[in-house]
Amino acid sequence: MASAKSRETTPSANAELCAALAPLGLCLSRERTIVWCNPGFARMFGYEPRDLEGTSLARLYPSSEEFARIGERGLRSMQATGEYGDERLMRHRSGRLIWFRVHGRSRDAAAPFALAAWTFEPLAGHPRPGEPGAPGALTPREREVLTGLVRGETSKESARHLGISPRTVEKYRARLMAKYHAPNAAALVQKVLGVP
């Protein structure tokens, strides 16, 4: 039988074990470059941790435009509160898109991207573009409008977050309803969430 002393672990060993077993993807970034990630984070995107460490988070976004836009929104939020969170589509190594809930916290609100910790949680039930029940390809703006709709934002709220007019949001929503063959916004959300 093992002694109590042999069962003890160091705080460092506990932290490593927690990171390895965590059900969420964990990532530490400096200036939006991955400096460390847990195995779960890397697997979610089809990589090994060593493949991602030292590379820009941009490689995991559907486009460079979304990397820039989400970065601008995140920067404003983190400067105000030290935290940022959203739901978004991210790109797997294979090119397929996956819905994630993302939450980040910076060490210093004055320089939010200098050092930040992030959690990534894949959201089950969201059809990916190209899968049955989902459209083939979405533009970056369509993905942003769809994300706001799934979060329950009104057109005015989405417009404010995206820096566009509510009328423009409505046009994108109409385009999304046509792509998903949904008669209204509620049906669109049900299809995106995989609700029968």
CATH no. for residue 61? 3.30.450.20
Instruction: Determine the structural domain holding residue 171 and report its residue range.
Output: 140-193
Question: Cα(46)–Cα(76) distance, rounded to whole angstroms?
Answer: 30
Domain count for the chain, please give it.
2
Q: 45 and 118 share a domain? A: yes
The residue behind tokens 């993302």 is: 102
Give per-residue pLDDT as tens, 154-191. Answer: 999 999 888 899 999 999 999 988 888 889 888 887 77
Give per-residue pLDDT as tens, 67-117. Answer: 998 899 899 999 999 999 988 888 889 887 788 889 999 999 999 999 999
Q: 113 and 31 share a domain? A: yes
Q: Is residue 65 part of a domain?
A: yes
